[in-house]
Structure 1
Amino acid sequence: MKIVKPNPPKEDQEVASRIHRRNFLRYLGAGSAFLTAATLASGCHKDDDDFNMGGEGVSLGSGDIAVLNYAYALEQLEAAFYTQVVNAQFSGMTATELAYFTDIRNHEIAHREFFKAALGANAIGSLEVNFSAVDFSKRDSVLGTAKAFEDLGVSAYNGAGQYLSNTDTGKVYLGLAGKIVSVEARHAAYIRDLISNGTFAADDVVDANGLDKVRTPAEVFTIAAAFIKTKINTSTLPR
């Protein structure tokens, strides 16, 4: 069984160190005011018992903080997965594929670090992930898992936006999430076409109205739970 410990590998730490959190937030148009707003929002929206440990497992908090921690958990999962993909390099991986997977890894680490910085003291800790079901030496296993993660991530962001508050802060969150989900969709399209060319917008993810799939937090965690060893209390997430 392959259990990936919370401590990130050296390559992960090097990438994260290049992402100066304050500069990254400024680049996204938020800056230090966003961090302050996030802290204030957590104080306004959370119930102390729920935030501290309202049930079994790591609490995500409540209100907008719960939604952000939800996204942070998924970005931790994806960053850990692609770090392992780049380190292991499945048999037959081309130089172009390695370059693209490295880009995806860097994007996911950047997303993870963004949420960690935005949440500040309200951020959940580093999660332990379980990739025992993935054979990182085999192309089909890696691509199949990558497809599942990317499709899941896009549907998770699509479903989470409705739960953000209709405050100025909540609207900032929504705008930033929109920038991130568009990148996740680019990843999904690339992975899908590696598996089968032309399936980047197949009807299992895009419906007849040209709209992408939406999943609720409960649906997302039901799927993601197989890859996350850390027990997470999802009871405070919006329903």
Structure 2
Amino acid sequence: MKNNELETKSELQEKSLFDKTVGRRSFLQYAGAGAAGIALVAAGCSKDRGYDNPTMSGATLDFKDDFGVLNYAYALEQLEAAFYIKVANSNTQFTGTNAAAKKAYFQDIQFHEIAHREFFKAALGTAAIGSLEVDFSSIDFTSEASVLSAAMAFEDLGVAAYNGAGPRLKTGTYLLLAGKIVSVEARHAAYVRDIISNGSFADLNSLTSLGANNASGLDAALTPDKVLAAASKYIKTKINVINL
């Protein structure tokens, strides 16, 4: 199949998936169906991309093409989804007059991250890496402060990860999808920062370590190796990176 044919089909799938208004549960189901066509393409590429290499344990991210970048995003969405599911199941005690709003926020963001995770899983098909084993032992899920701090770290890192991975995507449709997802991640990051410190949602000075430039009004951007190093404390599964 020619590249322009692939992109045309991907554009139709992306349009049908993201341009319709659906509820949370419907979106999760629809995301899987809308990604099925992309999954067929990924399945055809899985053998020659080395995903069945028996000499490597854990998960392998091969950045030689777009599917490596998509798997990278899938790994990060697995991590974020697992965190917010853990928050929901831990019954974190939010405080203050806006406690109910905070709880509702974390419920909403949980569905966003699950939707992102399931979209990438379905899109990649047999080329997808396996489920990652996470380690949140450093987070006190009974503490509002600990949960908010971790959420801020995950969201800021997620934004930097998508921005840093963008130049590696060669297919315009995938780049558009990444842009639509990173903008949602940025909304999450801004809101959680504002919960922690009212009015700090647009503070780029605190993100210079992640590559933000306040003078130019540019958000954070990190290369995959730096993102994975920062996220490694939360991931038990060994992640092998090749062709970066």
Which TM-score band (shorter chain)?
A: 0.7 to 0.9
Task: Give the Å deviation of 1:209.
Answer: 0.6
Q: 1:34 aligns with which of 11, 35, 38?
A: 38
Gaps of 5+ in 2: 1-23
Aligned to 1:188: 189
Aligned residues of 2:77 and 2:117 also touching (Cα < 8 A): yes
Aligned residues of 1:52 and 1:61 also touching (Cα < 8 A): no
Gaps of 5+ in 1: 1-14
Secondary structure in 2 aligned to 1:60? strand
Q: Is 1:19 matched with 2:24?
A: no
Aligned to 1:65: 67
Task: Give the Å deviation of 1:53.
Answer: 5.0
Aligned residues of 1:60 and 1:69 also touching (Cα < 8 A): yes
Aligned to 2:175: 174
Change (3 A) 1:185 1:162: same
Secondary structure in 2 aligned to 1:103? helix
Aligned to 2:239: 232
Amino acid of the structure 1 residue aligned with 2:150:
T
Change (3 A) 1:198 1:41: farther
TM-score by length of 2: 0.79
Task: Give the Å deviation of 1:123.
Answer: 0.7
RMSD over aligned CA atoms reads 2.2
- 1:102-132 Cα distance to aligned partner (Å, 9 max, x none): 0000000000000000000011111110000
Secondary structure in 1 aligned to 2:28? coil
Question: Separation in 2 of the partners of 1:121 and 1:33?
Answer: 12
Aligned residues of 1:16 and 1:109 also touching (Cα < 8 A): no
- 1:136-182 Cα distance to aligned partner (Å, 9 max, x none): 011111111100000000000000011112xxxx2111111110000
Question: Separation in 1 of the partners of 2:62 and 2:202?
Answer: 34
Amino acid of the structure 2 residue aligned with 1:101:
F
Q: What pairs up with 1:54-93 in 2 under 5 angstroms?
A: 55-62=56-63, 63-93=65-95
Change (3 A) 1:16 1:225: farther
Aligned to 2:201: 200
Task: Give the Å deviation of 1:24.
Answer: 2.2
Task: Give the Å deviation of 1:57.
Answer: 3.1
Change (3 A) 1:31 1:58: closer
Q: Is 1:112 matched with 2:114?
A: no
Amino acid of the structure 2 residue aligned with 1:97:
K
Amino acid of the structure 2 residue aligned with 1:135:
D
Aligned to 2:155: 150
Question: Separation in 2 of the partners of 1:225 and 1:172?
Answer: 29
Question: Separation in 2 of the partners of 1:192 and 1:144?
Answer: 9
Task: Give the Å deviation of 1:47.
Answer: 4.1
Runs (4+) off by over 6 Å: 15-18
Question: Separation in 2 of the partners of 1:54 and 1:217?
Answer: 23
How many pairs does the alignment contain?
A: 211
Question: Separation in 1 of the partners of 2:176 and 2:54?
Answer: 29
Task: Give the Å deviation of 1:235.
Answer: 2.4
Task: Give the Å deviation of 1:42.
Answer: 5.0
Aligned residues of 2:36 and 2:122 also touching (Cα < 8 A): no
Question: Separation in 2 of the partners of 1:31 and 1:227?
Answer: 28
- 1:64-108 Cα distance to aligned partner (Å, 9 max, x none): 111111100100000010011122132334221111100000000
Change (3 A) 1:37 1:153: same
Secondary structure in 2 aligned to 1:59? strand
Question: Separation in 2 of the partners of 1:25 and 1:172?
Answer: 17
Q: Is 1:130 matched with 2:130?
A: no
